[in-house]
Structure 1
Amino acid sequence: MVYQEPTGVGMSQSTLYERLGGHDGIRAVVDDFYDRLLEDDLVGPLFEDADLERLRKTQTDFLCEAAGGPETYDAAPVEEAHSHVPFTEAHIERAVEHLQDSLDAYDVPESDAQAVVGAVASYRAELLANGDDD
């Protein structure tokens, strides 16, 4: 994905979705993000039995919808979908770091990166509902 810098006339018309490269650009960031998660000694084990293709697709749909795209996140509610995962604060913090690193790898400017991270971070309580709060 090449970040699409808003330019010229209609600049204010550019949505976060468009600036992130649409579905394909967002999917590239999601794939990079999951690759980083899986390689991490702390969070990687949480995904040992996961359907990774389904996770990548639903995360892409979630971020596309959150960024103003036409995709719809239609998976189970976040708390329900993650009810079997014992997330801790440390897991969440590490995942946010990896997401930021993935966005940085694709040269997403800070303001747009923060919008993406904020969309994910807004579900912190739901992710921790079944975990151990470290």
Structure 2
Amino acid sequence: MTADETLYERLGGREAIRAVVDDFYARLLADDELGPFFADTDMESLKEHQTDYLCEAAGGPAEYTGPDIRTAHLHVPFTEALLDRSIEHLLASLDEFDVTGEDREAVVGAITTHADDLLATADENE
């Protein structure tokens, strides 16, 4: 690893990030509480958007052009427990691909930075 290497490069580029995204969504879909939220979702499009988002957040060449985080999750009445459960699945996926230390924290941080927007969806679903 060199000092000027981006997180995107350290993670292995788009293909490696997509592999983590695929694993993450497999875990979410298999989860009894979270899986049903994806019943009517175009999973390929969702995975592409998530990959673009993480690639951009990691300093890669992709640009996220999907909906803003709150709008994209209006159908999910997130609670802190569901958000924590989602993060646990993300951590397990990162573990699966040996993403550790600061890189792991940076990927999780790219998601948790939107925690307030995600949790606000619960209020909008009441």
TM-score, length-scaled by structure 2: 0.93
Distance 1:45 1:109 in 2: 30
Q: CA contact under 8 A between 2:77 and 2:119: conserved in structure 1?
A: yes
User: 14, 25, 38: which is aligned to 2:16?
Assistant: 25
- Count of residues in Structure 1 that have an aligned counterpart in Structure 2: 123
Q: Which runs of 5+ in 2 are unaligned?
A: none
C-alpha deviation, 1:20, in angstroms = 0.5
- Shift of the alpha carbon at 1:84? 2.2
The aligned counterpart of 1:43 is 34
CA distance in 1, matches of 2:112, 2:25: 16
Runs of at least 4 residues of structure 1 off by over 4 A? none
**Given the alignment, which residue of 56, 70, 86 partners 2:77?**
86
- Percent identity between matched residues is 56
Amino acid corresponding to residue 40 of structure 1 in structure 2? D
Q: Please list the CA deviations of residues 29-84 of structure 1 after superposition, one character each: whole Å capped at 9, or x if unmatched.
A: 00000000000112111111111111101000000000000000011111112122
Aligned-residue offset at 1:112? 0.4
**Structure 1 residues without counterparts, runs of 5 or longer:** 1-5
Residue from 33, 47, 50 that aligns with 1:56: 47
- Residue 74 of structure 1 corresponds to 65
Distance in 1, matches of 2:55 and 2:74, equals 23
